[in-house]
Amino acid sequence: MNAVLVGLLGACLAMIVAHGRASPYDNYVLLADALVHGRLWIDPVWPGPSIDAVLFGGHRYVVNDPVPALLILPQVLLFGLRANQTLLACVLCGVAVGAAWTLMARLGVTARVGVWLVVFALAGTDLLWCSMLGDVWFIAQTSAVAFLLLALCELAGQRRGWLVALFSALALGSRFTIVMALPVLAWWAWDGFLERDRRPRSLLAFAATLVPFVLLWLAYNEARWNVPWDAGHTIFYHQDPYMGSATGSPFSLRNVHDELEAFFVDGPILHRTAPFLEPAITGTALWFTSPALLLAFFARRPLRLVVSLWVATLLVAAPSVLYYANGGAQFGMRHALDFEPFLLTLMGLAARDGLALIWRILIGWSVAAGTWGCWYWNAILRASF
């Protein structure tokens, strides 16, 4: 099956599940509109504190990383503030699904097994749920997954350093936690991915392509926060009336216990009356929503790739484990999407010789759980939107 067709099917499914919704948390539309008008703040159209824009220097700024705002610029140029952020999220979902299909093929996964893994990537994780809502926090996750999967596809294919760097920059420009994987991505560009094949020119192209993105990032932060690093999340932490603090950093070892509990322990809530089962509003652990991720632990070869994929996973997960908030109102654990492309690759490596019944059952469970999460948000929590 052609990857473009698979991507179109994924995008169409996301659009159907979205029911034509336009997200009320459309920070990226507001930021794109601000860019069109030659500014970085969104004061004239700030709808209120619900969108998590911070006050700094007398202006309101969008905290979230800017790439989705750049992607939605064409829509904003045509439709202004009526641009549909959720539509972009669904398109990016299609890109992610098409890239996942290509990646599985390049890993040597058969088409029959690839269907199982791609369906899991779409509905057995938070990808479909994030995409069908399209809220500012969620489209950022979808965008990061799409571009990170494209980077992995290129690494498993022609391994052009400049293209790996471009996709990586767009991924971390959507979710900056992915910056933690840059050393591993650079190593793959140089040393090889599926097999060792050292290409110094590929590494040089990777590094050179990142330079303008780094310079733009530093300038963007200077223009907003008067410092070259991204101080937005710290400022937001100091202004958050619910979970924040007036001093200190949002990243701390004292947050690790609560984060690990959210990722791996907290289950859904049981009731004696309909709908009987309710996802906890602050998240439901991966053992319930995505148990098929366990397949990643059975990847064995090539050993250098398996080890480096786990290193990338742990590096990208680290900021979320240290952060003071686990993702807010959500189904599942959306921050897991930052590193799940690496786990999906491990799952592909583990499934190259076939997919045992137990894994098909766990994928079925994961997809059922993800579908239930989408239904619950559409039918109950967002029914009036």
Residue-wise pLDDT tens digits, 320-329: 999 999 988 8
Rounded CA gap, 336 and 343, in Å?
10
**DSSP 3-state of 229:** coil
Percent of the chain with pLDDT over 90: 86
Phi and psi for 298 in degrees, rounded to 5?
-100, 5
Structure confidence by residue, pLDDT tens digits, 55-75? 999 999 999 999 999 999 999
Exposed (0-12), middle (13-18) or buried (19+): which is 298, by Cβ within 10 Å?
Answer: middle
The count of C-alpha atoms lying within 13 angstroms of the C-alpha of 367, restricted to the half-sphere facing its C-beta, is: 14
Selection from 344, 334, 382 nearest residue 128 by Cα: 334
Q: Which residue has the tokens 């997954």?
A: 145
Structure confidence by residue, pLDDT tens digits, 327-339? 888 999 999 999 9
Chain CA centroid to CA 51, Å: 18
Mention every residue, 6+ apart, whose C-beta is less than 8 A from residue 116.
Answer: 351, 355, 359, 360, 363
Selection from 177, 91, 153 nearest residue 166 by Cα: 153
Rounded CA gap, 61 and 35, in Å?
12
Mean pLDDT score across all residues of the chain: 94
Inter-residue contact 16 to 127 (CB < 8 Å): no
Q: Tell me what the mean pLDDT of segment 257-277 comes to.
A: 88
Q: Which residue blocks in 284-356 are alpha helix, DSSP H? A: 286-289, 303-322, 340-350
Kindly indicate the confidence band of residue 384, based on its pLDDT and cuts at 50, 70 and 90.
low
Structure confidence by residue, pLDDT tens digits, 123-157? 999 999 999 999 999 999 999 999 999 999 999 99
Q: Tell me what the mean pLDDT of segment 76-94 comes to.
A: 97
